[in-house]
Amino acid sequence: MLLASAVVVWEWLNEHGRWRPYSPAVSHHIEAVVRAGPRAGGSVVLGQVDSRLAPYIIDLQSMNQFRQDTGTLRPVRRNYYDPTSAPGKGVVWEWENDNGSWTPYDMELGITIQHAYEKQHPWIDLTSIGFSYVIDFSTMGQINRQTRRQRRVRRRLDLIYPMVTGTLPKAQSWPASPGPAAAPPAPPCACPQCVLVMSVKAAVTNGSAGPLAPPAARKNVPESGVLKAPPPPGPGPKPLDSTGTIRGPVKTVPSQAIRRHASSTPAGANAGSPASPPGANGKTGRVALATLNRTSLQRLAIAQSRVLIASGVPTVPVKNLSGSSPVNPALAGITGILMSAAGLPVCLTRPPKLVLHPPPVSKSEIKSIPGVSNTSRKTTKKQAKKGKTPEEVLKKYLQKVRHPPDEDCTICMECLTAPSGYKGPQPTVKPDLVGKLSRCGHIYHIYCLVAMYNNGNKDGSLQCPTCKTIYGVKTGTQPPGKMEYHLIPHSLPGHPDCKTIRIIYSIPPGIQGPEHPNPGKSFSARGFPRHCYLPDSEKGRKVLKLLLVAWDRRLIFAIGTSSTTGESDTVIWNEVHHKTEFGSNLTGHGYPDANYLDNVLAELAAQGISEDSAAQEKD
């Protein structure tokens, strides 16, 4: 135990291995449940304090966050920070994402930024803590040191995170402390919701197979509106593994969850008598629901639904809950009823299946796309451009500025009236020369622009680091490969009136060239061939033609670090999103998606590819 005072921040682990903080209000809510101890039930409904988090529940026993609509599990933790740091003062640092909304920094980053801000530093470089960003407090901007992309940042005041004083546990567990000696068990609540929850727990603990509504509740149960568990005609929902992926038969997760609550909360036989703790003699028998037959499970589910209907609690629409055994529908139904009794907006249905590929298509059914020549394209290794130095390339896009304004160069962050602050390999131009980009009008040290060009693809193009205006023809570093495209006689969800354009990308592993992050080192190519889909509509064909331009310019893929697996030196997507699910949209990379075609056109335009580009390529 550590003797100290601290602020408590509750955090969850995202898919990239970063601990993300809950808001102060949510942390206060979780902390209140923790301090209430086992009598609070051991779970936290986040939607009670933030409506945007309505699908999420935290199970304090396992320290996991559970998303009801997808079944995703993520670890959570109770972390402690210095009360004089940002969370102890209610200070939140946020950056503006691509949607125009604000995202809070990880807590450690926010604390580091706030410390520099309080010391009145003009900027802070986050490289030392593993992030290639500079925060400029004068402009309230975040600058990516590699790409020079800028984003706005802001500092705002919020609630102070909850404070704890005294002994702090090194390991977070629940309950947080043993507490005082156990008091005599109090009578359970007699409201219909608690009667329902207690009755299901009693069924699991005692192995009861009959209806479990207490006598007092049975008297006024109407016979109409009964919610019945459907018969199990086929394969059913599957539970989660440690990563939140749906994998095995359904019995594990619901039964474990119910058994855990049954072992930690007293279960009463009826509403009027005191509850006796299960396991008092250490040998309490807990019969799993899997041991009950179909008739008993149906009677159990019906009894719970009658209690819900009688109490006016909204029932859960249970449909398509088929499974490989008669146990699965009832397990899912009872789990849903328990969630509904707790006031949670849950609809239990058979989980949709991931449909990555269309039904089999014969060669005779595959057709070329009208208005698009050929059915495949290849790319080869980049040919080095000779004859022009970086200074000669930039001269086409710049106008010299004789009297620079009293502003900062956003590349080196030094004043334009002073020499460039760039400390890398020395360009041949003088460090005090200043130039203005001809189209967008942004002003930089020419020395800095030459250095930026030398660190890039050196393809004769330049992209303004402030507004992203592209000068010349931007090309990428995509490794050699093949792009195939054709029509298949199936429709995408949301596009029932047209066929589908299928694109197949094939890139083999190989050796990195001089334009890649690690020249001479091998790179991997996971998941190829990759199948992608577009509707065969007018706009879909337009997107395809521009994707062909992007492919020829080597902008579809790059070599880098995978954000999904963390693997380095591998082929990754390069900022042009593709739809890789044919018949579903479970990962967000499928259909229907009404805005996808417009979004990908905007992404292509950001790479300098438009209808004019397609016409130029044709010429």
Res. 285: pLDDT tops 90: no
Token representation of residue 384:
């080095």
Q: How far apart are CA 470 and CA 478, in angstroms?
A: 19
- The pLDDT score that the predictor gives to residue 332 is 55
Least confident of 178-192, 289-303, 484-498: 178-192
Residues 200-211 pLDDT 10s = 445 444 544 343
Q: How far apart are CA 547 and CA 541, in angstroms?
A: 10
Higher pLDDT residue, 137 or 386? 137
* Amino acid identity for residue 301 in this structure: A
Decide if 486 contacts 502 (C-beta within 8 A). Answer: yes
Q: Is 519 left (phi over 0), alpha (psi -120 to 50) or beta?
A: beta
Res. 334: pLDDT tops 90: no
- The pLDDT score that the predictor gives to residue 39 is 64
What's the gap between Cα 500 and its chain centre?
Answer: 28
The closest alpha carbon to 158, from 50, 267, 63, 16, belongs to: 50
DSSP code per residue over 512-566: --TTSSSTTSEEB-TTPSEEEEEESSHHHHHHHHHHHHHHHTT-SEEEE--TTT-
Res. 44: pLDDT tops 60: yes
Say which residue the tokens 């149906």 belong to: 298
Kindly report the CATH number that applies to the domain delimited by 481-616: 3.30.390.130
* Residue 575 DSSP one-character state: S
Q: How far apart are CA 177 and CA 42, in angstroms?
A: 14
Residues 353-389 pLDDT 10s = 778 899 999 999 999 999 898 899 988 665 545 557 8
CA angle, 586 then 592 then 596, to 5°: 100
Decide if 445 contacts 411 (C-beta within 8 A). Answer: yes
Q: How far apart are CA 437 and CA 399, in angstroms?
A: 6
Decide if 372 contacts 485 (C-beta within 8 A). Answer: yes
* Residue 376 DSSP one-character state: E
- The pLDDT score that the predictor gives to residue 167 is 62
Residues 87-122 pLDDT 10s = 999 999 999 988 788 999 999 999 999 999 999 999
Res. 459: pLDDT tops 80: yes
Domains in the chain: boundaries = 4-166, 390-458, 481-616
* Amino acid identity for residue 119 in this structure: K
Higher pLDDT residue, 305 or 249? 305
Q: How far apart are CA 306 and CA 292, in angstroms?
A: 20
Res. 322: pLDDT tops 80: no
Cis peptide leading into 87, omega within 30 of 0?
no
* Amino acid identity for residue 21 in this structure: P
DSSP code per residue over 54-114: TTEEEETTTTEEEETTT--EEEEEEEEE-TTSHHHHTEEEEEE-TTS-EEEPPHHHHHHHH
Res. 482: pLDDT tops 90: yes
- The pLDDT score that the predictor gives to residue 368 is 94
Domain 4-166 is of which CATH architecture? 2-Layer Sandwich (3.30)
- The pLDDT score that the predictor gives to residue 531 is 95
- The pLDDT score that the predictor gives to residue 4 is 65
The closest alpha carbon to 340, from 121, 192, 226, belongs to: 192
Sheet holding 102-104, edge to edge: 102-104, 91-96, 150-157, 141-144, 133-136, 123-125
Token representation of residue 429:
């131009």
**Mean pLDDT, residues 70-90 taken together:** 88
The closest alpha carbon to 443, from 415, 423, 471, belongs to: 415
**CB within 8 A of 248, min separation 6: which ones?**
238, 239, 241
**CB within 8 A of 506, min separation 6: which ones?**
481, 482, 483, 484, 528, 529
Domain 390-458 in CATH 3.30.40.10? The answer is: yes
Q: Using CB atoms within 10 Å of the CB of residue 266, give its burial: 0 to 12 exposed, 13 to 18 middle, 19+ buried.
A: buried
**Mean pLDDT, residues 515-524 taken together:** 92
**CB within 8 A of 77, min separation 6: which ones?**
10, 11, 12, 13, 19, 63, 172
Residues 600-612 pLDDT 10s = 999 999 899 988 7
Res. 589: pLDDT tops 70: yes
- The pLDDT score that the predictor gives to residue 202 is 54
Say which residue the tokens 């072992």 belong to: 263
Q: How far apart are CA 561 and CA 229, in angstroms?
A: 47
pTM for this entry: 0.48
Domains 4-166 and 481-616 belong to one CATH topology: no
* Residue 500 DSSP one-character state: E
The per-residue pLDDT of the chain, averaged, comes to 74
Higher pLDDT residue, 304 or 593? 593
DSSP code per residue over 503-517: EEEE---EE--TTSS
- The pLDDT score that the predictor gives to residue 128 is 80
The closest alpha carbon to 159, from 56, 27, 47, 46, belongs to: 27
Q: Model confidence at 176, in pLDDT bands (50, 70, 90)? A: very low
DSSP-assigned beta bridge partners for residue 155:
93
Q: Model confidence at 519, in pLDDT bands (50, 70, 90)? A: very high
**Mean pLDDT, residues 40-47 taken together:** 79
Res. 195: pLDDT tops 70: no
- The pLDDT score that the predictor gives to residue 381 is 60
Token representation of residue 414:
């030094």
* Residue 315 DSSP one-character state: P
